[in-house]
Structure 1
Amino acid sequence: MKRSSKSTMERRMILLLLVVCYVTMTYSQQCRQVMTTVCDDEVSNSRMQKGDKGDTGRSGKAGSPEVKGEVGEKGMQGDSCALGSLGTDIISRLAKIEKLLSPPSTTTTTTTIVATTSASRVTSCATSSSNGDQVLTSGVEVYCEDGWTVFQRRIDGTVSFQRGWDDYANGFGQVDGEFWLGKSIKSCFENISYLNANCSGLDNIHEMTRGGGCRLKIELWDFDGNQRHANYSSFSVDSAEKSYRLLISGYSGNAGDGMSYHNNKPFSAWDRDNDLHRTVNCASHYGGNQGWWFGDCLASSSALNGVWMRESTGTAHGVVWEVWKGWHEPLKATNMKFRCD
């Protein structure tokens, strides 16, 4: 009878748990799972396990040899489990129920994938298969165009080229617009020294062309949409100690040779007078404070860093390629680029 009482208590515990589940409805999904799991287990147990064996019946009285003894009383049948026995290990079964009734986690784990892409580094634009903004192995940002390194571009006058020596040495402007070899002069000012591998401008034109084997291509457009070009088979820029002297030769093209006169001339700016004129600074007097490889002011054949304008005024003659348009008809756009193979 002890077994019967124990099983009855266990059944009552299970029924009580299930009633609580339905009343609270807090974990209705989990409660249904408990019912299914527990009942499935118990049905299986009921099929596989017999009830406890009853007590052995009392022996009948011994009779005479001719008469059979009385049949002893049948032992009591063990209790069957209508709902199912919890088994011998009630602790593990209750732990199973507790686990099933545990509320779902409300913590959401979010995995963030951070893009770590960066501009690819190439030794020069000639080794790059793509166009646009590129980073060289030296850390210099350049603009590549079909294997050529663009170092000067004029389009619409949105960027002023009326700048001093340091600006031309380091670079300025934006590569998606007008610029002088450099994504932004800001990147140079943020560095400890102007003259380092992270800056652009004349310093890096010198570094990239000093090994020789470089060519120059100049593309020109007027305000009527006409286009001309000038090519030079040899091009390099000397060091800062030699005032970024221009070394150029081997003209071909249809724009006229506007650069050979400037060969072997040092670079000048409004605050660094290196031209051949004895009394005036060509950069400020005739060039509108631009930087260029001036010789004698009036003998110069080109000045592509002049003030952007539709018509020349006074002594500032705009963006000039004298051998094509003369000194008084400015150009609308220019593109200067080199390639070292």
Structure 2
Amino acid sequence: MDGSVDFYRNFAEYENGFGNVDGELWLGLKYIQELAEQGSTEIRLDMTSSGNVTGHETCPDFKLTEGTNYTLNIGPCTDVKLLYPEAGFDYNNQMPFSTYDRDLDMEIDNCAVSHHGAWWYSMGTFINLNGLYQNDTIAGHYHEGIDFVGLLRTSSMMIRR
């Protein structure tokens, strides 16, 4: 929302959660996983680019696979309002969650380090909602489906049953 919380964190912090419920917050992978296990769940990503372009995508059947890798599982995203739908969240499906201290992506280099964040990286990503906020020198907080070359001003991830 405003860069007040640094999202460049280790795996334990992402697992347990951090931030402020009244501002920028990461709920925690173990809590997200627990909520998603309680029934059919969908996830929605909402974004606004630095150029004021807005977009969202909604994906059904959201869950994080049991175990400590928190592998992303989503159904085909529907209700996709993106300028570039091919650069959507589907690309990250079936990927484990990676951080700078736990490299689980498919790249030789650690994507969490090169993108200064943590995410379900594959061979890179089109989305980095946990990246460095508003920084032009590092591939930071972005969603290429909203603005292929621009950064995000705001982003949120919401789940519901």
Q: TM-score, normalised by structure 2?
A: 0.91
Which residue, out of 25, 29, 32, partners 1:179? 25
Normalized per residue, which structure has more strand?
A: 2
Q: Which residue of 1 aligns with 2:109?
A: 280
Q: Which residue of 2 aligns with 1:302?
A: 127
Look up the equivalent residue of 1:301 and give its one-letter code: F
Q: What SS does structure 2 have at the residue aligned with 1:253?
A: strand
Q: Which residue of 2 aligns with 1:260?
A: 90
Look up the equivalent residue of 2:95 and give its one-letter code: K
Q: Which segments of 5 or more consecutive residues in structure 2 lack a partner in the other structure?
A: none
Count of aligned positions: 157
CA contact 1:203–1:239 (8 Å) conserved in 2 = no
Q: What SS does structure 2 have at the residue aligned with 1:240?
A: coil
Q: What percentage of aligned pairs have identical amino acids?
A: 32
**Higher RCO, 1 or 2 (CA under 8 Å, sep at least 6)?**
2
Q: TM-score, normalised by structure 1?
A: 0.44
1:225 to partner: Cα distance: 2.8
Q: 1:264 to 1:212 in 2, by over 3 A?
A: farther
Match status 1:218 vs 2:45: yes
Q: Which residue of 2 aligns with 1:63?
A: none
Q: What SS does structure 2 have at the residue aligned with 1:325?
A: coil
Q: What SS does structure 1 have at the residue aligned with 2:74?
A: strand
Counterparts of 2:67 and 2:21 in 1: how far apart (Å)? 24
Counterparts of 1:160 and 1:203 in 2: how far apart (Å)? 20
Q: Which residue of 2 aligns with 1:330?
A: 151
1:329 to partner: Cα distance: 1.2
Please show how residues 61-72 of structure 1 align to structure 2 within 5 Å: none
Aligned-residue Cα RMSD (Å) equals 1.4
CA contact 1:215–1:232 (8 Å) conserved in 2 = yes
CA contact 1:214–1:338 (8 Å) conserved in 2 = yes
Look up the equivalent residue of 1:321 and give its one-letter code: H
Q: Which residue of 2 aligns with 1:271?
A: 101
Normalized per residue, which structure has more helix?
A: 1
1:338 to partner: Cα distance: 0.4
Q: Which residue of 2 aligns with 1:202?
A: 29
1:282 to partner: Cα distance: 0.8
Look up the equivalent residue of 1:271 and give its one-letter code: D
Counterparts of 1:166 and 1:312 in 2: how far apart (Å)? 28
Which residue, out of 244, 248, 252, partners 2:74? 248
1:226 to partner: Cα distance: 2.8
Counterparts of 2:53 and 2:109 in 1: how far apart (Å)? 34
Q: 1:303 to 1:295 in 2, by over 3 A?
A: same
